[in-house]
């Protein structure tokens, strides 16, 4: 941590890209840093638990507000807007360049689709410019007794950068969960099947990323 900013060190390898002729890279361990302290370990552990669309799992936020709605159209599911009023610390990562993932005034649109095993969070900066699309593979999507939508995290994640390069991360955490018996082989395989489906059917759909999600940013922000 430097001047209140937490930097996440990324290890990069070639990966799938939608842009022909361009070389893009894959994050192998987004949450590995030069020195992993207690707080970062806690953040990693929290990733293994149930996550809510109200942003309550985002421990780095000091102040937030949220609003959600059910979407009943071509895509069906829950859309939630989490507004980052103020942050306890900024989160930054290095892709091809330094990227600020979390700061005062940023917004996140979370979409939890019906009958799927993934959830996407689109992060926007103060100017409503996309910072990243972050896909969680999930074991279960549902609504709890408080009527708050949630998903059960399945370790494996995918980041799509603004240039549409695709970054598969946390494979080590998925393997560790299998080795420790936290998940079954069926759930392990489900995570990779979901990833392949996302790349072929969802991430390739530029309209979903650049039209559908910004539309609900606008709808819920008013």
Q: Take residue 6 and report the two structure tokens written for it.
A: 């937490």
Q: Take residue 39 and report the two structure tokens written for it.
A: 């707080």
Q: CA 92, 94, 96, 97 torsion: positive or negative?
A: positive
pLDDT digits (tens, 9 = 90+) for 81-109: 999 888 888 888 776 778 888 888 899 99
User: How confident is the model at residue 214, as a pLDDT?
Assistant: 96
Provide, rounded to the nearest whole percent, the portion of the chain with pLDDT above 90: 58
Cα three-residue angle 137-138-140, rounded to 5 degrees: 165
Q: How many CB atoms lie within 10 A of CB 159?
A: 21
Which 8-state DSSP code applies to residue 183?
A: S
The per-residue DSSP string of 18-39 comes to: SSTT---EEES-TT--SS--HH
- Statement: residue 197 has pLDDT above 60: yes
Q: Take residue 217 and report the two structure tokens written for it.
A: 């940013």
Q: What range does the domain containing 186 cover?
A: 5-220
- Statement: residue 196 has pLDDT above 60: yes
- Mean pLDDT of all residues in 145-164: 93
Which has the higher per-residue pLDDT, 46 or 63?
63
pLDDT digits (tens, 9 = 90+) for 19-43: 333 323 233 333 333 333 334 444 4
- Statement: residue 59 has pLDDT above 80: no
Domain count along the chain: 1
- Helices assigned H by DSSP within 85-205: 171-179, 185-197
- Mean pLDDT of all residues in 138-166: 93
- Statement: residue 141 has pLDDT above 80: yes
Residue 49: name the closest of 153, 203, 124 by CA.
Answer: 153
Dihedral (Cα; 85, 87, 90, 91), 10-degree rounding: -90
Identify the CATH number of the domain in which residue 70 sits.
2.40.380
pLDDT digits (tens, 9 = 90+) for 112-128: 999 999 999 999 999 99
CB distance 31 to 167 below 8 Å: no
Which has the higher per-residue pLDDT, 11 or 163?
163
């Amino acid at each position: 941590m430097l001047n209140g900013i937490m930097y996440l060190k990324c290890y990069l390898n070639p990966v799938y890209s939608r842009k022909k002729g361009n070389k893009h890279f894959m994050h192998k361990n987004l949450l590995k840093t030069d020195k992993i302290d207690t707080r970062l370990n806690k953040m990693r552990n929290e990733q293994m638990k149930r996550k809510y669309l109200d942003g309550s799992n985002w421990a780095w936020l000091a102040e937030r507000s949220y609003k959600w709605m059910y979407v009943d159209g071509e895509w069906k599911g829950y859309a939630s807007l989490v507004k980052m009023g103020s942050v306890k610390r900024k989160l930054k990562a290095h892709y091809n360049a330094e990227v600020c993932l979390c700061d005062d005034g940023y917004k996140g649109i979370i979409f939890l689709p019906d009958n799927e095993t993934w959830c996407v969070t689109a992060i926007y900066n103060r100017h409503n410019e996309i910072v990243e699309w972050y896909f969680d593979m999930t074991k279960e999507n549902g609504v709890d007794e408080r009527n708050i939508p949630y998903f059960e995290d399945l370790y494996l994640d995918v980041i799509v950068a603004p240039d549409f390069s695709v970054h598969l991360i946390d494979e080590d955490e998925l393997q560790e969960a299998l080795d420790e018996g936290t998940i079954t082989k069926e759930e392990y395989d489900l995570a990779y099947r979901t990833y392949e489906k996302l790349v072929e059917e969802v991430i390739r759909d530029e309209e979903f990323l650049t039209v559908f999600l910004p539309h609900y940013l606008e709808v819920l922000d008013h």
